Structure 1
Amino acid sequence: MRSHCSGQNSYENPVRWQAPPMDVIKVNTDASFCKVLCKAGGGMVLRDHRGKVLRLTSFFFLRVLDSLVAEGLVLRKVMDQVIHWGYSLIVFEIDAEVIVKAAMLDVSSFLLLSPLVEDIREWHPDFDLVYTLIVGNEIAHTVAVYTLQDKRSASGLDSVAKRPGFQ
């Protein structure tokens, strides 16, 4: 597994979304979390090298204890879906730097995230996992927030992904 964390290697993290290389799929994920109700919404947008949205999906989770757990749940669910859909050359881009670091370090220091990070490591050892600023993850973030607020699928959000200038 390769990882890119802002400020840790020569990889300069884009502020705006950047297309992946040809034949590579980029998957952006994000979670929105409500501490009071212990629930989370998740969003995923899958795009090709031209930036074309191939899939837009949302997830809703109950009994979530922490925002980082929400981020990990969304990433694990999305990884499973993307592999199931048959994609193999994948870059996963998330705005939860702790998840990226936990995937690369000894997870015992991230006790709450351990089971999620172990799944991420075991299931998909050959992908890129990249930390991005939330600005580069705008569509996935919008889908996550919408899902948390309305507890609906993101099927009606296709128009959001096609707005000019929207990342």
Structure 2
Amino acid sequence: MFTNAAAGLEYFQRINAQPEGMSSAIQQGQPANWQPPPVNMIKVNWDATIDQGNSCVGLGLLARDANGQFVAARGIKKRIAADPTVAEAIAALHAVIFAKELGFSNVMFEGDALTVVNAINSTRSCESSYGHFVEDVKRYMSDLATSSFVHVLRGANSAAHNLAKEACTHVTDKYWWHCIPPCIGDIIRKEETSLLY
């Protein structure tokens, strides 16, 4: 939930300024392509993927600014077996930790796991198998000045998705600061170019 009403309103107006004829999912606030966050905010996209053959989960975390410029990324490999929703909840938790570690205070978190985003945005306690991760996310979010969790379509989260897949191949966790990971370079450049038109 937005704690900065002006930032939330700006984002809502930008997303809903779509031309007629676009899909109802997009008209309801789910952009098909990556969009920058409101001014003075950082957007952290997060995703998880499961490599069942190697019993691991890959997490992709990617931070960009209001101009769409790459800031930082992290690929994390967890040697655990998890169902998709648990994996996504773990990714959401690591996204908030990532933002806090980088010193961000005004952050929009985007992921394509609707169940997890809804659980985080709910005022109720999450009693599911991934509930303790959700409750940790809420606790960490309370330390941020402004934060929100938003659900987006996979197309708007493709860089984080590819980063998560790549993380499964890593021997150790990887971190990039102002240096775009090669596995998502083409995606980032394409998304940056689309913001110019």
- TM-score bin (small chain): 0.7 to 0.9
Give the percent of matched residue pairs that are identical in Structure 1 and Structure 2: 23
Ranges of 4+ aligned residues in structure 1 off by more than 2 Å:
1-4, 34-38, 104-108, 149-164
Q: TM-score, normalised by structure 2?
A: 0.73
Whole-angstrom distance in 1 between the partners of 2:66 and 2:184: 15
Higher relative contact order (CA 8 A, sep 6+): 1
1:90 equivalent in alignment to 2:104? no
Q: TM-score, normalised by structure 1?
A: 0.84
1:1-167 pair list within 5 angstroms:
1-2=1-2, 11-105=28-122, 106-108=124-126, 110-125=127-142, 126-152=146-172, 153=174, 155=176, 158-163=181-186, 164-166=189-191
After superposition, give the CA deviation of every residue in 1:37-56 in whole Å (9 maximum; x if it has no partner). Answer: 43100111100011100001
What displacement does 1:83 show?
A: 1.1
Whole-angstrom distance in 1 between the partners of 2:45 and 2:52: 23
Compare 46-55 and 146-155 and name the one that shifted more: 146-155
User: What 5-or-longer segments of structure 1 have no aligned partner?
Assistant: none
Whole-angstrom distance in 2 between the partners of 1:31 and 1:162: 19
**Secondary structure class of the residue paired with 2:36:** coil
What displacement does 1:22 show?
A: 1.3
Cα 1:161–1:35, aligned 2, differ >3 Å: closer, same or farther?
A: closer
**Secondary structure class of the residue paired with 1:138:** helix
User: What 5-or-longer segments of structure 2 have no aligned partner?
Assistant: 3-7, 13-23, 193-197
- Larger Cα-atom Rg: 2
Give yes or no for contact 2:112–2:152 (8 Å, CA) kept in 1: yes
Whole-angstrom distance in 2 between the partners of 1:95 and 1:56: 17
